[in-house]
Chains A and B, each alone.
Chain A
């Protein structure tokens, strides 16, 4: 796998994504998601909200690096709360 030029942060990032997907699969098996409508004006399942949260987090990170000189970890911390909010109330 050396040709993939791995770094520790990207390995952690993909591990986190992998763990989230495994966790969501187990959660879905134990307690199947029921479609519902929250703040997002669409009926969404748990998986939909995860996707929306991850995609919007990516854009939040891009906007953050484009508009501020602060360390990107601030955006990551903000996105953690953002993800939780989307999953809970989205």
Chain B
């Protein structure tokens, strides 16, 4: 059967295009303009070419923030993805318990980011926080404000607490979509619990897991509010991630040129990763079809 092509339908996309132009494309073009100029005020600005890009690419502080960002994103992904799958597998599937389970798991997702930071800031305190005081009571000298390892541990724990539910809910929906006949076939074959997971559940979860990894990577790569409230980027710069460095440069020091150049590098990295994930998803779907 021949598919009818009607390109007039593209006009229906026009409102979205205008909206995206106003909210993303024009601001991005402005950032590109800023990145090649030294701006003192709106009327006093000088063209500097690629000078800010050279500075940004050689800035040791920004390179360290970029490295920290990758380490952070990979760390939380390596914890949240398996943990989310585990939580989804353990969640009840029928009756009131299923509804209750869904509500309980979803609670951290409903809390605003700055509140999450504040909760963990208090929770981790050695004097009044339950987590910090409990660790100190059993002899572990825990202080996230002065010890970089403890600060990292707290930021990672906070992110895992906040965002594992998203992965769990995605996996839960993926698991619910597996037809019962697969499990029936597995029972006939006397497949072990592990075999059911390895050969039925995990392959069927691939698509939601890719979406989960993509969402968590992008979100964690742009993380700002929670560590800003929890540690303020410290002790020293040990929990200063890319967004914090960028905000410090753009708003704190008002270095619009270098901050714009850095924003573009940041944007390109995210664009590259998103494209890679998009390509993987599309290829997997094509492989399944064909």
Q: List the B residue with the shortest CB-CB distance to A64.
A: B50
Which residues does chain B contribute within 8 Å of A77, judged by CB atoms?
none
Which residues does chain B contribute within 8 Å of A42, judged by CB atoms?
279, 283
Which residues does chain B contribute within 8 Å of A10, judged by CB atoms?
29, 32-33, 36
Give the complex CA separation of A67 and B289 in angstroms: 44
* B37 lies within 8 A of A7 (CB): yes
- Interchain Cβ contacts within 8 Å, total number: 54
Give the complex CA separation of A6 and B47 in angstroms: 10
Q: Report if B181 contacts A (CB, 8 A).
A: no
Which residues does chain A contribute within 8 Å of B236, judged by CB atoms?
none
Q: A5-B45, A58-B268, A62-B268 are in contact. Are A14 and B39 (CB under 8 A)?
A: no
Q: List the A residue with the shortest CB-CB distance to B264.
A: A58
Q: A5-B30, A7-B37, A51-B275 are in contact. Are A66 and B45 (CB under 8 A)?
A: no
* A65 lies within 8 A of B39 (CB): no
* B36 lies within 8 A of A7 (CB): yes
Q: A5-B34, A5-B37, A59-B268 are in contact. Are A65 and B275 (CB under 8 A)?
A: no
Q: Report if B252 contacts A (CB, 8 A).
A: no
* Residues in B4-57 with C-beta less than 8 Å from chain A: 7, 26, 29-30, 32-34, 36-37, 39, 42, 45, 47, 49-50, 53-54, 57
For the complex formed, measure the closest distance between the CB of B277 and the CB atoms of chain A, giving whole angstroms.
13
Interface SS of chain B: helix
Name the interface size band of chain B: 20 to 34
* B34 lies within 8 A of A66 (CB): no
Which residues does chain B contribute within 8 Å of A3, judged by CB atoms?
30, 42
Q: List the A residue with the shortest CB-CB distance to B43.
A: A2
Q: A42-B283, A65-B54, A72-B50 are in contact. Are A7 and B268 (CB under 8 A)?
A: no
- Interface flags for B122-157 (1: CB within 8 Å of A; 0: not) read 000000000000000000000000000000000000
Q: Which of B39, B49, B57, B279 contacts A72 (CB 8 A)?
A: B49
Give the complex CA separation of A62 and B57 in angstroms: 8
* Among A43, A55, A62, A66, residue most surrounded by chain B Cβ atoms (within 10 Å): A62
Q: Report if B271 contacts A (CB, 8 A).
A: yes
For the complex formed, measure the closest distance between the CB of B267 and the CB atoms of chain A, giving whole angstroms.
10
* Residues in B56-111 with C-beta less than 8 Å from chain A: 57-58
Give the complex CA separation of A42 and B283 in angstroms: 8
* Residues in A1-49 with C-beta less than 8 Å from chain B: 2-7, 9-10, 13-14, 29, 42-43
Which residues does chain B contribute within 8 Å of A55, judged by CB atoms?
268, 271-272, 275
Which residues does chain A contribute within 8 Å of B33, judged by CB atoms?
4-7, 10
Q: List the B residue with the shortest CB-CB distance to A56.
A: B272
Give the complex CA separation of A58 and B26 in angstroms: 19
Q: Which B residues are within 8 Å of any A CB, using their own CB? A: 7, 26, 29-30, 32-34, 36-37, 39, 42, 45, 47, 49-50, 53-54, 57-58, 265, 268, 271-272, 275, 279, 283, 286
Instruction: Identify 21 residue pairs between A and B in the complex whose beta-carbon atoms are under 8 Å apart, listed by A's number.
Output: A2-B42, A3-B30, A3-B42, A4-B29, A4-B30, A5-B30, A5-B45, A6-B33, A7-B47, A9-B47, A10-B29, A10-B33, A42-B279, A55-B275, A58-B268, A65-B50, A65-B53, A65-B54, A65-B57, A66-B57, A72-B50
With A29-B7, A43-B286 already in contact, 11 other A-B pairs whose C-beta atoms are closer than 8 Å:
A3-B42, A4-B26, A4-B29, A5-B33, A5-B37, A7-B37, A9-B36, A9-B47, A59-B268, A65-B54, A72-B49
